[in-house]
Amino acid sequence: MSVLITNASNVKGLVVTQSLGKKGVEITTTDCEYLSAAFFSRYSKHHFLCASPERTQLEFVNSIQNHIKRNKIDVLMPINSTETNLISKYKEKFTPFTKVPFEDFPKMMQLHNKNEVMKLASELDIRIPGTYEINNATDIEKFSKEMEYPVVIKLRNATSSVGISYVYSASEFVSKYKQTIQKFNLKSSEYPIVQEYIPGSGYGVSMLYNQGDIRASFTHKRLREYPITGGPSTLRVSVRNQEMENAARKILDHVNWHGVAMVEFKLDERTNKPVLIEVNPRFWGSVYQAIAAGVNFPYLLYEMALYGDVEPVFNYKVGVKTRFLLNDFRALISHLNNSGHRFTTFKEFFKFYEKDLYYDAFSINDALPAMMFAYKGLKDVLNSRHK
Same domain, 204 and 192: no
Same domain, 15 and 72: yes
Q: What is the pLDDT along the chain (387 residues), one digit of tens a residue?
A: 899 999 999 999 999 999 999 999 999 999 999 889 999 999 999 999 999 999 999 999 999 999 999 999 999 999 999 999 999 999 999 999 999 999 999 999 999 999 999 999 999 999 999 999 999 988 999 999 989 999 999 999 877 778 888 999 999 999 999 999 999 999 988 999 999 999 999 999 999 999 999 999 999 999 988 777 667 788 999 999 999 999 999 999 999 999 999 999 999 999 999 999 999 999 998 999 999 999 999 999 999 999 999 999 999 999 999 998 878 887 777 777 766 667 777 777 777 878 889 988 777 889 898 888 877 777 766 666 555
Q: Provide the b/e sequence for 345-355 (b: ≥16 CB within 10 Å).
A: beeebeeeeee
CA distances from 79 to 31, 53, 141, 345 (A): 11, 12, 39, 32
Same domain, 318 and 348: yes
Same domain, 277 and 312: yes
Does some domain include residue 123? Answer: no
User: Following DSSP, what letter does each residue of 53-92 receive, concatenated?
Assistant: TTT-HHHHHHHHHHHHHHS--SEEE--SHHHHHHHHHTGG
Question: Which of 288, 228, 286 is closest to 262 using CA atoms?
Answer: 286
Same domain, 43 and 109: no
Same domain, 203 and 290: yes
28 contacts 47 by C-beta, under 8 angstroms: yes
Question: Is the preceding omega at residue 232 within 30 degrees of 0, hence cis?
Answer: no
Same domain, 334 and 203: yes
First to last CA, the chain: 46
CA dist 96 and 69 (Å) reads 9
Same domain, 187 and 282: no
Does some domain include residue 125? Answer: no
Does some domain include residue 88? Answer: yes
For the domain that residue 163 is a member of, what is the CATH number? Answer: 3.30.1490.20
- Phi, psi angle pair for 264, to nearest 5°: -95, 140
Please report, to the nearest 10 degrees, the dihedral formed by the alpha carbons of residues 68, 71, 72, 74 taken in order: -30
Same domain, 147 and 244: no
- β pairing state of 75-77 and 2-5: parallel
For the domain that residue 19 is a member of, what is the CATH number? Answer: 3.40.50.20
CA dist 366 and 252 (Å) reads 36
Q: What is the model's pLDDT at position 339?
A: 63
Number of domains in the chain: 3
Q: Count the neighbouring beta carbons within 10 Å of the beta carbon of residue 78.
A: 24
Question: Which of 142, 8, 150 is closest to 77 using CA atoms?
Answer: 8
Strand partners, 266: 202, 275
**pTM summary value:** 0.92
Q: What is the model's pLDDT at position 127?
A: 97
Strand partners, 268: 200, 273
Edge-to-edge strand list for the sheet holding 321-323: 273-280, 259-268, 200-210, 213-225, 233-239, 321-323, 357-359
Residue range(s) defining the domain that contains residue 16: 2-100
For the domain that residue 372 is a member of, what is the CATH number? Answer: 3.30.470.20
Strand partners, 276: 265
Does some domain include residue 66? Answer: yes
Same domain, 145 and 281: no
Please report, to the nearest 10 degrees, the dihedral formed by the alpha carbons of residues 383, 33, 281, 158 taken in order: 40
Same domain, 109 and 143: no
Q: Going along 143-268, which residue ranges are E strands?
A: 151-154, 165-167, 193-196, 200-210, 213-225, 233-239, 259-268
Same domain, 148 and 170: yes
- Phi, psi angle pair for 145, to nearest 5°: -90, -15
Question: Which of 49, 53, 30 is closest to 41 using CA atoms?
Answer: 30
**DSSP secondary structure code for residue 227 in this structure:** S
Helices (H) and strands (E) in the chain, counts: 13, 15
Domain boundary among 180, 196, 212: 196
Q: What is the model's pLDDT at position 280?
A: 95
Please state the length of the chain: 387
